[in-house]
A = this chain, B = another copy of it.
């Protein structure tokens, strides 16, 4: 075991699409847990597009951008090394907001002990984590997708998009994806999507229309901007649009294209804004649905991995260029192999603090 913590901080304020050299590594002592705290050694670090927006101080409104020397926030999965909190035992694997670093303290807030036997540990950051819960909230809670409906989703190979399609298919719907390369689309089709259209291809709109001859009942939007306008060309009248992400603007909000309101009016669309933190109390129901389907292969996923904390900046830059093939994860430590004894997951549902955590520190 090494005896220093390593963290990634901003070398300078971000501007536009991040570069690897926007970040630098810092060494620091491994902190000692105080009363009620626990020390976590991270195994996996989650990189997500919303982190770009959070670094810029734009995520969920009203905060300063992260300056040089600041550490981006992220969900992490790791093992409890020392615990001074009776709810956590040394050796437990937990998910918490640990940030871009190898070790972190937790007060227990939003710190969940993970059931080791249910699914691969890294999935608690992806298909079984916040991205998966986002897809669940979209398809089950907000859109209430029905058998036979047609669901269109952008960023379809990402952890949210791939789960939107797969949860829809598990409920008897048909899924059509949009992604940014033929390579991504090939994998999206492997997941069982009826079609996947590369939005960078010539005649994207024509191909999209051909893939949806009867139109889409539901469009799950991870992108905003022109992608949303394009989706309206194939949305059925009275169709549902779940407004979930704004990837189009995370790197550069000045390039953002807002919505022409005539589109939802003419389509009589129902549009619903989704914020995943509202669905914390659905985590157990969601995991009960998804975990067995991961175990038997009905739900599949792809991860885009980098190894080592020093790879984090470049891996985030890759994500924000849209080059990742699946859920972006940095592997920080040895991946454990688990016994099969069941472990009851515990859920934390304090929402106000979660909102602050999502904004970074």
Q: Which residues of A contact B (CB under 8 A)?
A: 58, 60-61, 224-225, 228, 243-244, 246, 256-262, 264-275, 278
Contact = CB atoms under 8 A, between A and B. Distances in A.
Nearest to A272: B270
Contact of A274 (B228, B257, B260, B268): B268
A265 B275 contact: yes
A217 to B, nearest CB: 15
Given A266-B60, A266-B61, A224 B261 contact: yes
A271 B266 contact: no
A256 B274 CA distance: 26
Contact of A244 (B257, B258, B265, B271): B265
A85 B115 CA distance: 76
A60 B259 CA distance: 17
A275 B272 CA distance: 18
Given A258-B258, A268-B278, A270-B270, 9 more contacts: A58-B262, A228-B261, A243-B264, A246-B265, A264-B271, A265-B275, A268-B275, A269-B272, A271-B272
Number of copies of this protein chain within its complex = 2
Given A273-B267, A275-B268, A259 B262 contact: no
Contacts of A261: 224-225, 228, 243, 246, 258-259
Contacts of A270: 270-273
The 6 closest A-B pairs by CB, nearest first: A258-B258, A265-B273, A264-B273, A271-B271, A259-B259, A268-B273
A357 to B, nearest CB: 17
A246 B262 contact: yes
A273 B278 contact: no
Contacts of A278: 268
B262 A260 contact: no
Nearest to A268: B273
Nearest to A241: B271
